[in-house]
Amino acid sequence: MTQNESPSGKSRDKRRLVAKRDGFFSKIGNQGIALTYDDVRLTTGYASILPDNINIESKFSKNVGLKIPIVSAAMDTVTEAQMAIEIAKLGGIGVIHKNFSSQEQAAQVAKVKYHLNGLIEKPICFDENTSIGEILASRQEKDFGFHSFLIIDKDHRLTGILTKNDFDFCEDFSLRAKQVMTKRVITASPGIGLREAYRVMKENKKKAIPLVNNAGKVAGLYTFSDVKRILSGDSKSFNVDKNGRLRVAAAIGVYDDAFERVEKLVREKIDLVIIDTAHGDSKGVIETLKIIKKHYDVDVLAGNISEPESAERLCRAGADGLKIGQGPGSICTTRIIAGIGKPQVSAIYECSKVASKFGVPVCADGGLKFSGDIPIAIGAGAHSVMMGNMLAGTKESPGEFRFHQGVQYKVYRGMGSLGAMESNKGSRERYNQGKDDLVPEGMEGMVPYKGPLKEVIHQYIGGLKRGMGYVGAGTIEDLRTIAQFVRITEAGKAESHPHDIVITREAPNYQKQQ
């Protein structure tokens, strides 16, 4: 704020800019026209902050925050545990798809939540009579990335701990845990703080310190590597919950399957569930939403929708967040097969106007092709963007590798594709279809290999920050408030891309075929 600016003056400017943007979309809407990313560009404004100093923290739902406004889509070729872990470390959040069984999906969430922890409230414990072989088999099955396990007796009292050293020096896997475990365990009382736990572990040269209550039962666990990481500040960019665990979300359906999944997911400390359907404004979604909110203390995001009336119904039903987008995805054919779907920028704007009255964040799902589409989506009212194609093909995505004409690709398919629906009940339910006589609403294909997620996200965030810098927005909320739009013609679209040259060296953030 300059010397000549006052808080009231700044507020008036924002109200003026909001009214101007409302006027733009109102005029377009009155003509029966809806716009998408290629139809518009943001206009520049006065900037008083450098792009690198811009704050891009946002919200995914009412109670789940984001360090970066990027979410990986709940698709079986985009988000499983590896992707969810890495994107949370970069500040975003991943949504585990529901083509897993409920048990498998919960195990995927557990991998993320147990990947690093400040305080592990419910550490993995084994009975002292369990064999070492059984413990190792369980560790491999659940793909745990740690080696320390607490050992308890039949009354659930702590009797010892198994560490990596204990496993390494054990030559007979038929031995019971009580025969191999370390019996002298340094413990602490529940309620001990992070710094005190760190001091105790350093003094005793122990990499794990169980918390034990007065009855001798396990009440938690601190691990040295995670506590040190948190206290050293290495995790500042991580998107973590209040206990230092990586945040993660998961997709669910409606009714019985949803309730079964939520029960298991809540046990694994899920941060948020998404009722993930092609048509979120439906009886099944609304009834499922109400029941979950009544019985579970967990944020629920609902979707997908593209109309303001749909946003109001879901907000009134208790949604903590909305997912906007019907048919904009690169592998989605809903608009062609069913003739349904509003162009994405108009859908985001109209739904976010309603959701803001309820204090409900919205996520723009689908249709993004370039990093410049991210500030456009947020400028239209989104709090975050969900990516499928733009994250598929990264090292962390679960799609298999293929080579085509000497180029490395990864498989990418829509959840409404024939292959996904033939092999997975979750995909069929998302599009409200049975197993026979399927009508696909998506395609199967492949995308070029993009490399590590960290490098890809760096380019996307760089584009977002530079877009915000041009607009003059210092925060995500500023961008949502002051962004102004112009509609462009086909000639303007062509002018926006490199033209009249032969590209001799591709940039890491631009591919013409997009």
Mean pLDDT confidence for 328-343? 89
Band (334; pLDDT cuts 50, 70, 90): confident
The yes-or-no answer on residue 430 being catalytic is yes
DSSP secondary structure, 170-194, as one string: ---TTSBHHHHSB-----B-TT--H
Is residue 436 over pLDDT 90?
no
Which has the higher per-residue pLDDT, 11 or 4?
Answer: 11
Contact predicate 333/441, CB 8 Å = yes
> What pTM was computed for the model?
0.83
| pLDDT given for residue 6 in this prediction | 61
Amino acid at 281: D
Mean pLDDT of 213-230: 88
Give 512's pLDDT tier (boundaries 50, 70, 90): low
Helices and strands (DSSP H and E) totals, the chain: 19, 21
Of residues 313, 428, 430, 480, which has the active-site annotation? 430
pLDDT for 325 equals: 97
432, pLDDT greater than 90: no
**What value does the mean pLDDT of the chain take?**
91
More confident residue, 160 or 503: 160
CA angle, 501 then 507 then 511, to 5°: 75
Q: Which CATH superfamily includes the segment(s) 119-232? A: CBS-domain (3.10.580.10)
Whether pLDDT at 7 is above 70: no
Tell me the mean pLDDT in the region 193-215: 91
What ranges do the domains of the chain cover?
Answer: 34-48+55-114+239-392+455-496, 119-232
Judge whether 413 and 400 are in contact, CB under 8 Å.
Answer: no
Q: What are phi and psi of 510, to 5 degrees?
A: -150, 125
The two three-digit tokens of residue 434, written as one number: 């049975």
The C-alpha angle with vertex 410 and arms to 407 and 416, in degrees rounded to 5, equals 135
Of 129-133, 203-207, 504-508, highest mean pLDDT = 129-133
Q: What is the pLDDT of residue 234?
A: 65
351 flagged as catalytic = no
The pLDDT confidence band at residue 211, using thresholds 50, 70 and 90, is: very high
Mean pLDDT of 265-270: 95
Whether pLDDT at 236 is above 90: no
**Alpha-carbon gap, residue 303 to 306, rounded angstroms:** 9
pLDDT in tens, 10-39: 788 889 999 999 999 999 999 999 999 999
Q: HSE-up of 409 (CA within 13 Å, CB side)? A: 13
What the block records as the tokens of 99 is 């083509």
Residues 376, 468 contacting (CB under 8 angstroms): no
Per CATH, which fold does 34-48+55-114+239-392+455-496 belong to? Answer: TIM Barrel (3.20.20)
Contact status, residue 398 vs residue 83, Cβ threshold 8 Å:
yes
Please, what is the end-to-end C-alpha distance for the chain in angstroms?
40
Whether the per-residue pLDDT at 65 is higher than 90: the answer is yes
Which range is least confidently modeled, 99-108, 230-239, 252-261, 341-350?
230-239
Average of pLDDT values for 299-309? 97
Instruction: Give the model's pLDDT for residue 203.
Output: 93
Most confident of 43-57, 105-119, 223-237: 43-57
Marked catalytic residue, from 125, 332, 351, 363 = 332
Higher pLDDT, 325 or 441: 325
Does residue 471 carry a pLDDT above 80?
yes
Average pLDDT for 54-79:
97
Q: How confident is the model at residue 514 (pLDDT cuts 50, 70, 90)?
A: very low
Unique residue bearing structure tokens 């740690």: 146
pLDDT at residue number 4: 53
Look at the block and give the residue holding tokens 């970066």. 68
Q: What is the mean pLDDT of residues 170-185?
A: 94
DSSP 52: G
| Chain centroid offset of residue 441 CA | 23
pLDDT band at 121 (very low <50, low <70, confident <90, very high): confident
Integer Cα distance of 464 and 452 in angstroms: 19
66 pLDDT more than 80: yes
- Asked whether 183 and 210 are in contact (CB, 8 A), the reply is no
